[in-house]
Structure 1
Amino acid sequence: MHYKHFFSITFTAGILFIYGCGGGSTQQADTRETPAATPAGETGTTAGTADDKKGIGKFTDVPLTHPLDAKMVTAGEKTYDVKCGSCHKLSEEKLVGPGWKGVTDRRTPEWIMNFITNVDEMLNKDAEAQAMLEICMVRMPNQNLSDEEARAVLEFMRKNDGKN
């Protein structure tokens, strides 16, 4: 009886490890070669567009606040604490996902918003997101954030990067 219990725990742990490391996903195959066209009526960009760094999704123009919106920063920090902090550090250090320090200097607001709200399509079709996936080796789960929650997270990221 003791060996059955050990085998069961070991098997379950192995499955969770493989799934958590992205081994259970085959969606990445061959999506890098051919950019997908944006369907009629939708906005966004396609993978492989060298001069457009907005990512894939509905966000094509994200107006930023100057100075930072304190209410959005607070809301974004709360979302970070609940949904983001277990995988992302606020420093440059990688945890499960990349550290957030400097992200608003490396990525456009539109790209960040599209990634947060359209993570699966971004990981499947956006070259920058795919490069991060190769480094982290774990697909970011869709956190199902509303547009307002995602915008608040962006504002918190801006504060983390020392924006005023």
Structure 2
Amino acid sequence: MKTSLLTIAIVTLTLWGCGGASQRAEKPETSDSVLQQQEEVHGTEVKEIALTNPLSQPMVDEGQKIYDMKCSSCHKLTDERLVGPGWLGVTKRRKPTWIINMITNVDMMLEKDTEAQKLLEQCLVRMPNQNITEKEARSVLELMRKNDGEK
């Protein structure tokens, strides 16, 4: 008797907990802003970047936060290679659009760009997609520019 009451209670709680599923299915959680953000993450090739002069300190600060959270485990701010190449001098060697595309569209870059393919051969580890938006990548680029001595 106790077992059947326990079973009924569990089934009742399970059904009650799942009761709003049909309502949730009717209201998709993908708003226009979420869709726009997803497009930025997995967008098309970036062909033009407007650089600030002087550097934007708020963008540098945001870039530092992103670097600390998503990039520092593989990249150093020096020229020393960790898992991936060090960042020192990267803005002197690469165009801003190349850097942004490598951050936001790594699969496309590894498929099409010979320099990205050479980096993969050197590092032997494919750069993961970190789901960084173009706006976030622009902040990381600003950090890289400061790291390379731009003011």
TM-score in terms of structure 2 length: 0.70
C-alpha separation in 2, matches of 1:158 and 1:122: 21
Alignment-derived partner of residue 13 in structure 1: none
Larger RCO (CA within 8 A; separation ≥ 6): 2
Alignment RMSD (CA, Å): 0.7
Does residue 81 (structure 1) correspond to residue 68 (structure 2)? The answer is yes
Alignment-derived partner of residue 117 in structure 1: 104
Match of 2:53 among 50, 66, 70: 66
Give the aligned residue type for 2:75.
Answer: H
Does residue 157 (structure 1) correspond to residue 141 (structure 2)? The answer is no
Gaps of 5+ in 2: 1-43
1:61 positional shift: 1.2
Match of 2:119 among 111, 132, 136: 132
Alignment-derived partner of residue 107 in structure 1: 94
Q: CA-to-partner distance for each residue in 1:50-69, whole Å, 9 max, x for gaps?
A: xxxxxxx5211111000000
1:148 positional shift: 0.8
Give the aligned residue type for 2:68.
Answer: D
Aligned length: 108
Give the aligned residue type for 1:62.
Answer: I
Alignment-derived partner of residue 146 in structure 1: 133
Gaps of 5+ in 1: 1-56
Alignment-derived partner of residue 32 in structure 2: none
Alignment-derived partner of residue 93 in structure 1: 80
Larger Rg: 2
Give the aligned residue type for 1:96.
Answer: V
Q: CA-to-partner distance for each residue in 1:98-142, whole Å, 9 max, x for gaps?
A: 000000000000000111110011112210000000000000000
Runs of 4+ in 1 over 6 A off after TM superposition: none
TM-score in terms of structure 1 length: 0.65
